[in-house]
Structure 1
Amino acid sequence: MSITGMSEQWVAARIKQKGDSKYIPWRSLKDAILTHLDVRKRLDVFALSIYGLVVFPKALGYVDEAVTNLFDRLDKKVTLIPVIFTETFRSLSACRRTGDGRFIECAQLLLAWFYSHFWKVDKVSYRVFFENYSPLKEIVATPRRDDISEEKWMVILQNLQEEDVEWRAPWLLPDEILYMCGNFNWVPLLGVCGAIGYAPLLVLRQYRSRQFIPATQGIANCEFSYKDDGYKKKIQKMSSAWKQTRRMRGLAVGPMITPKYNELWGKRINDNIPKIEETKQRKKQRAKRAEKEGKKERKKEKEKEKGKFKVLRFQAQLLMSCTSHCPRKERRKWTRSDSREIPVSKKNQCSIQHPK
């Protein structure tokens, strides 16, 4: 964490092991923000917290160690945009494969994409595109709606029609499109915890270009985690591919979709969309797990309270037994001390020998 001015000793003393990853608690970073002598470093630690808690969230209230390593590279003019894309696509891909789970990356940026491309929601036109339009500013100004249930969102998304989606992103200027790297027929992306392949040729409509069927055979094998076997060789291969990039100019001539692509899209079947009944059942299962974990936490708290009560009761009994013999100073020693630190042989007797 050189960019934040924190030493390795400071990090080692505060880093926590959670599962198979290491994290830094937000509490420690918050203390550094409030107490660091260098104002610039305070801002750096605050920025690191935003990246770890909002942009790349992995565990609630903790910043992944991998995020700190990435943050240290910012002073070398490294852009985080491909990394954000990578982790977003990996999380969405995992949810799609399993048909369940939660999107654990930056939900705010994904919501910005929804606002930018969904022309209608529930058949009500709610926004108009302008050249100077900023989706982030609109999201901040839009009141948050918590009254839309998960089931209702599923109905809205499953019933979206092609005319409900605005494919032409207005802020993308007609320019060159990066579509290949090295021998890959797509763009390999390296993230914080893994890698994935992305084919820009699948979204040519966003570049105001004609959409056709691109070559994507083998793109699924491009996705892997940094914990998989042989991941270092794959990283090296992807990094070398970025030295040879290929670009094309986006030009729209005639219809936006080729006949073959339109035919392929009509045959496409997405059998990985969960039904509403299945979603309700999964919500009940998650609620049961949360309730079970809550009971365990409450049980631990009760045991802690019982332990504290036993200590206080022992001190009270000891104080009462010595009331008639011990001076006040001696009694104060017993009340201030912790009975767990007193030797067992001396727990039931005072340091002063009373006359029998």
Structure 2
Amino acid sequence: MIEEYTTLLRCPRIQVDRAYSRAAYVPNFLKKLMSITGMSEQWVTARIKQKRDNKYMPGKNLRDLILAHPYVRKRVDIFAFSIYGLVIFPKALGHVDEAVSDLFDRLDKRVTPVPAILAETFMSLSACRRVGEGRFIGCAQLLLVWFHSHFWKVEKISYRVFSENYSPLKELVATPRRDDTTEEKWLVILQNLQEEDVEWRAPWMIPSEILYRCGEFNWVPLLGIWGAVGYAPLLVLRQYRSRQFVLATQGLVQCEFSFKEDNYKKKVREISNAWNQIHRMKILAVNPMTTPEYNLWWGRRINDNIPASSQEDVRPIEEHLQVVPSELEIIKQDFEKRSLKLGKKIEQLEEEKMRLGLDVDIHKLEAERLRKGKNKAEEDLDSLKIDYKKLQLSIRTASLGKTSEQWRQEIKEEKTKADQWEKKFQDALVRESVLEKNLSECQNEKARLKAR
């Protein structure tokens, strides 16, 4: 659930491995509120309420301050503080408990609130289960989203889950839900759940790694704002479509304690140090979903379990988690392959387009050169015709002392020159026609590439 809640909250500024740890000496609630609200000591003191050993700030005072505070940044801070105290950690209805202020103050240091949220959720559910009743004081909204994600089957998986801007919480909030499910009906549904009724992995969850232990603990100890509890992610491997096996759980129950107990600070320090040595593991999916040993262990309901493995069946945890890709991962891989293939095709088309562009430019230069040659040939031909006419005129008007044979020879030479220039002119026209045709074909090809 750590990875799921982190995905739901989608806070890019937090460091997922930097968990909240209650300070050994928590600063005064009054000073915390003065810092968060920006109000005077007199104003804050007049509004703090106390019940037994706990101090609270009424939510209505925070609401009024959100509406009236002159600074926008402070209004945002007070609103966020109210959400944490009234929605995420609702210990006293309509009031924000003083313990919330310490966690809220640490958010600027980029600590993740997820372990604390889960710790209080698990401890509250455990307390209600022990006595058979009670008020849940965890974040009911996030838990309800988690319920809907695991107990409502999804036929199709949206490609939007691969988008960087995708927010499952926003999508789930916008999804219509039936509001006519009574408490009694919920009890019947949960009491009669079968394995096939559970959506083990949330459809919006794409985990690559899971946090499965911290330090010397065989599980993940979670520090809340009022206490701590042990959480064993390897007991819910089916949420990641991995094979469920029997895990050592001895001492897991004793990991739960309240910050009101004696010597709690030493335990907090041990857990905080353990979070400096986290262990993650890549996971995939496999069938069958459970081992025979797990089914036997589950039927016996043994809390403090020390698996007795035979020498022939000693397997490391990593081996239990070696699997085949899930449906969502297959879709993602197919999507990435198609994107890569299309990317390469686009690159090829771009290269072809560039080559054709160069060919067009070369043909344009050649056509321009031929046009200039044609114009020069036409000018030379015109000049030759003028000279020829002048020569004929001079033959008629003056006697140059040449014989008829000489005149015939000179005229023959001039005609030969004229024929040569005429041939050059025709050749130039033919080459110009060919180049214009090639240019037209290149331009048509370029237009087709742009249309792709």
User: Normalising by structure 1, what TM-score?
Assistant: 0.69
Match of 2:107 in 1: 74
Matches within 5 A, 1:151-190: 151-190=184-223
Q: Is the 8 A contact 1:112 1:135 kept in 2?
A: no
Distance 1:51 1:159, change over 3 A: same
Counterpart of 1:42 in structure 2 is: 75
1:103 to 136, 146, 158: 136
Quote the Cα distance in structure 1 between the aligned partners of 2:160 and 2:135. 33
The answer (yes or no) to whether the contact 1:4–1:41 under 8 Å persists in 2 is yes
The 1:4–1:127 alpha-carbon spacing in structure 2 relative to 1, beyond 3 Å, is farther
Uncovered stretches (5+) of structure 1, i.e. residues with no partner: 121-125, 271-356
Q: Are positions 1:226 and 2:259 aligned together?
A: yes
Deviations 1:176-213 (A, max 9, x none): 22111111111111111111010010111112321111
- Give, in whole Å, the separation in 2 of the partners of 1:113 and 1:23: 29
Aligned twin of 1:132? 160
Q: Which has the higher helix share?
A: 2
**CA distances 1:50-72 after superposition (whole Å, capped 9, x unpaired):** 11111110111111111122111
CA contact (8 A) 2:120 2:137 kept: no
Select the structure of larger CA radius of gyration: 2
CA contact (8 A) 1:118 1:165 kept: yes
| Contact preservation (8 Å) 1:82, 1:190 | yes
- Between 1:226-235 and 1:169-178, the stretch displaced more is 169-178
For 1:207 and 1:5, how far apart are their aligned partners in 2?
Answer: 45
Other structure's SS at 1:73 match:
helix
Q: Distance in 2 between matches of 1:197 and 1:74?
A: 23
Please say if 1:26 is aligned against 2:59: yes
1:94-118: CA deviation from partner (whole Å, max 9, x where unpaired):
1122222122211111110111001
| Native 8 Å contact 1:178 1:246 kept in 2 | yes
Moved more, 96-105 or 161-170: 96-105
**Cα gap change, 1:135/1:28 in structure 2, threshold over 3 Å: closer, same or farther?**
same
Q: 1:247 and 1:185 mapped to 2: Cα distance?
A: 12
Tell whether the 8 Å contact from 1:174 to 1:208 is kept in structure 2 after alignment: no
TM-score of the pair, normalised by structure 2: 0.55
- For 1:8 and 1:189, locate their aligned partners in 2 and report how far apart those are by CA, in whole Å: 34
Question: What per-residue deviation string (whole Å, max 9, x for no partner) do you get for residues 279-313 of structure 1?
Answer: xxxxxxxxxxxxxxxxxxxxxxxxxxxxxxxxxxx
Taking the aligned partners of 1:6 and 1:179, their CA distance within structure 2 comes to: 43
Aligned alpha-carbon RMSD (Å): 2.3
Cα distance in 1 between the residues matched to 2:215 and 2:130: 28
Mapping of residues 255-270 of structure 1, within 5 Å: 255-268=288-301
Shift of 1:265: 2.9
Q: Where does structure 2 lack aligned partners over 5 or more consecutive residues? A: 1-31, 162-166, 304-452
Give every structure 1 segment of 4 or more consecutive aligned residues whose post-TM-superposition deviation is greater than 6 Å: none
In the alignment, residue 25 of structure 1 is paired with which amino acid? Answer: P
Structure 1 Cα separation of the partners of residues 85 and 178 of structure 2: 25
For residue 201 of structure 1, what is the amino acid of its counterpart?
Answer: L
Whole-angstrom distance in 1 between the partners of 2:291 and 2:170: 35
1:1-356 equivalent positions in 2, closer than 5 A: 1=32, 2-119=35-152, 128-130=156-158, 132=160, 135-143=168-176, 145-268=178-301
CA change 1:135–1:116 in 2 (3 A) is farther
Q: Secondary structure at the match of 1:83?
A: helix
Distance change >3 Å, CA 167–CA 34, structure 1 → 2: same
Q: 1:247 aligns to what SS in structure 2? A: strand
2:111 counterpart SS class: coil
How far residue 151 of structure 1 moved from its aligned partner, in angstroms, is 1.7
Change (3 A) 1:130 1:143: closer
How far apart, in 1, do the equivalents of 2:207 and 2:93 lie?
A: 40
**CA distance, structure 2, for counterparts of residue 110 and residue 160 of structure 1:** 18
Q: Deviations over 1:244-295 (max 9, x none)?
A: 122222133442211211233344499xxxxxxxxxxxxxxxxxxxxxxxxx
**Structure 1 residues 82, 269: CA separation in 2 closer, same or farther (over 3 Å shift)?**
closer
Contact 1:119 1:127 in 2 (8 A): no
Quickly say closer, same or farther: Cα 1:12–1:144, change in 2 above 3 A: farther
CA distance in 2, matches of 1:254, 1:188: 29
Separation in 1, partners of 2:41, 2:115: 28
Local SS of the residue matching 2:124: helix
Moved more, 92-101 or 187-196: 92-101
1:89 shift after superposition: 0.9
Distance in 2, Cα, partners of 1:3 & 1:222: 33
